[in-house]
Structure formats: structure tokens, C-alpha cells
Structure 1
């Protein structure tokens, strides 16, 4: 019997790639604002994570896997970031995640061992200028995930992927020319930016039984940026 996988945001970027890689192995439900790029064998549910209640969706009684994809890349000097900007980043990255997980607890707890996958950023571990807001919001995710993993083990597993810059629509402004791509690639020991497949394949592994002894981890998929200094 196929397991049930719920992707919050899965119509583009990393979420869409996860859907593509899992659609033949899982019953995949995608809750997102847009139905574009949804594989034919996935079920789409219209959902705005900042406005809608996850418990209002028609979902199966058991959720075996949950991936929360919504996020932001709000890179500006701290002096140009208002408290409202911080609040907005916290809302999309963290508070909406909390609401989703809270609303799905009954369905996650009926699984044999559910797997939850969230996304952070390399900028939480490596201090980077202009990242104060997004690093704060993603840092909250990392702390939340570890505490949640401890509280609900062994009922379900919770892990976080912390990418560096990845070529997605969300990062399009940072990678809008070949010159920018080359400059960003040179910052990474592996001399390239990430692809959606790099991140999605890690998520698929964490969802699978192959990672059944992994929980409470923040896994850097970042071209070596968080641990290597080659300059």
C-alpha cells in the first residue's frame, strides 16, 4: 500500500521536483496556491498557507510524510528592514509551519512513523551580511524541529535541510544572468550553485524508510559552504 505524502507548496521549484520524484511511490497531495506544474498523478488542493486552515482540507486520515516548502529570500541591510519585514518572514517561514504541523498532528500520529521535512538555510550556521531576517526565521525552524523531534520520537521523525543558494524561481533575482551565476558558484567549494534535484533528492531520502534512524538533524546541502573554507 502506498504511503500518503503531503507537500505544502509543490507547484514550482524544490517542491515541484519532490512531487515529480515521489509521485509514483506515494499518494501525493499538494496544497498550494497554484496548480501549475502539478504531475498528473498528484492531487492538488488549493491552499494559501498564510490565510487558510489546514484542517479544512480533504486529506486522508493518515499522513506518512510532510514537506513544508514555502519560504522567502529577503536579503537587505538590517537598517533597511523594518520590524514588519521580520514579522512577514517569520509568518511565511515559521508561524505558518507551526500552524500546519499543529493542525495535522492527529493525521501524523496515526502513521506507523511519519517523516517531516522542513527547510532552513546555510545562513543560520554561517553568518552572512544582509541575511538577518531570513536567518532569524529559518533559525526558528531549526530549533522548533529539534524540539519537536525529541517530543514526538519515536512516533515521527523531524529533519531539516539547510541549502545554500539554489537555482529556483525564488532565487531568480540572484541568478538572473550568467555573470551572477558564475559569481555565486565561485563562493562554493564545489564551484556551483545548487539545483532543485540536489535538494529534492535529499528530501526524498529523508521521507523514505532508508532514513528510518535519522531524526532531529539539520543537514547541510550547500556545496560545502557551511564547513569548508577554500579561500
Structure 2
């Protein structure tokens, strides 16, 4: 069945891969700051989650799936971070998400069972140096997702994907040499970093009716990093 799928921030990286993979089977709506030459079959809305009101967009009356993609990788020692850094992370990763869901609530309720997908990080579960600001924001996302899933079951299914390092434009600085890439690969039991396709495939499953009995889950897609010790 063809679904209306709304992605916030789906013009690059993981979001773009999800949009491109699903565009033949579903109606894809991407709300982001720029279209980045998205295929014509993808409906693009100019939208800045930090400033704009999603209620002003000309969206369909029914949204079957919602994916919130904005994120950041601001890895610094805690002593170098100011409260403003934490506020910025929270606004992008968490408050932008809350405002977006609140703004389309009626459209999500209009479908039989909406699927919502948010993104976290392996650092919430593991605890990693230099991740205090991003892990705090993503931890809020995980708590919000579980509570939302409980409150709106069975009408909404809400799940979170928690990746480890993934090869995307956002992570370019961490993987911009063979030496860095090899070091990051060796940290993972499966000896590679993730790809946008890895994440997109899981998102596609969570959108589909094949995952109709799955909600309130934080799914580690991290090459085994969060659960295996093989070194």
C-alpha cells in the first residue's frame, strides 16, 4: 500500500538514502533547508527545523510515517563545552523533534497506524568520552520515544535507531583519511563503519507492515559495538 512518508532533514546522508530507496513505492515528502537536487518524484519543502513552523507546510491530510533525521556530531571534552553548546544540541536533536511531532499530530492520527522513526547514538548506551552534549540530547530522544509509544499505542508505533559511526557527510571529519577510517573500523566487532544503506534498510523495515508488532524499541545498529567485546 502506498504511504505518505515525511522526512525532516532528508536531503543528504541517511535521510536522503531512505527517501531515494522508497520513492518508487511511496509518496515521499522531504522538509529541509535545501533540496540538494533531490529527484523530481520527491516532494521538497523548504524548512528549517530550528526556525520554522511545520504547520505552515502544505502537507497531505494523512501522514503514514514520519522520520526525523537532523543530528550533529560535536565531539569535544566537557571542559570545552559551554551550556550554550548543550542547548544547541537539545534544540536540534530533541526540541525540533518535539515541535515537529506536535505540529503533525492530527495528520499522524488520520492513518490507521503511523510509524515514527527517530535517531539516537550508540554513545547513549555505552558512555563515550567527548560525547556529553550529543549523548544527553539523544538520551532525551530515547526517553521521549518510549513514552510517546506508550501513550499513543496502538495508533502509533515509535522506534529509535541508535547507530555507531556511519559514513555520511556529517561524519566526514572523522573518516577523512585511511588511517582514521581503519582505526574506526577496528573498534567495531564487524570491522567496518556503517553506511547510509545499512541504516536505510532498517528504517524501511520499521516503516513497513512487516514490523507491525514492533514499538517502543531502541535498536542498536552499530556493528556489534554496544554489546560485544571481541578485542
Cα distance in 2 for partners of 1:23, 1:112 equals 21
Name the count of aligned residue pairs. 231
In structure 2, what is the equivalent of residue 32 of structure 1? 32
Does the CA-based 8 Å contact 1:10-1:38 persist in structure 2? no
In structure 2, what is the equivalent of residue 207 of structure 1? 207
Q: Does 1:82 align with 2:82?
A: yes
Does the CA-based 8 Å contact 1:6-1:30 persist in structure 2? yes
In structure 2, what is the equivalent of residue 8 of structure 1? 8
Give the deviation of 1:25 after TM superposition.
1.1
The RMSD of aligned alpha carbons is 0.6
Secondary structure class of the residue paired with 1:192: coil
Give 4+ residue runs of structure 1 displaced > 4 Å after superposition: none
Please report the TM-score for the alignment, with normalisation by the length of structure 2. Answer: 0.99
Please report the TM-score for the alignment, with normalisation by the length of structure 1. Answer: 0.99
In structure 2, what is the equivalent of residue 156 of structure 1? 156
Give the deviation of 1:156 after TM superposition.
0.9
In structure 1, what is the equivalent of residue 71 of structure 2? 71
Cα distance in 2 for partners of 1:203, 1:16 equals 12
In structure 1, what is the equivalent of residue 18 of structure 2? 18
Structure 1 alignment gaps of length 5 or more: none
Secondary structure class of the residue paired with 2:157: strand
Give the deviation of 1:39 after TM superposition.
2.1
Cα distance in 2 for partners of 1:38, 1:141 equals 28
In structure 2, what is the equivalent of residue 174 of structure 1? 174
Cα distance in 2 for partners of 1:213, 1:175 equals 37
Does the CA-based 8 Å contact 1:117-1:158 persist in structure 2? yes
In structure 1, what is the equivalent of residue 190 of structure 2? 190
In structure 2, what is the equivalent of residue 130 of structure 1? 130
In structure 2, what is the equivalent of residue 222 of structure 1? 222
Give the deviation of 1:58 after TM superposition.
0.2
Cα distance in 2 for partners of 1:127, 1:164 equals 12
Cα distance in 2 for partners of 1:88, 1:67 equals 20
Cα distance in 2 for partners of 1:47, 1:15 equals 15
Structure 2 alignment gaps of length 5 or more: none
Give the deviation of 1:40 after TM superposition.
2.1
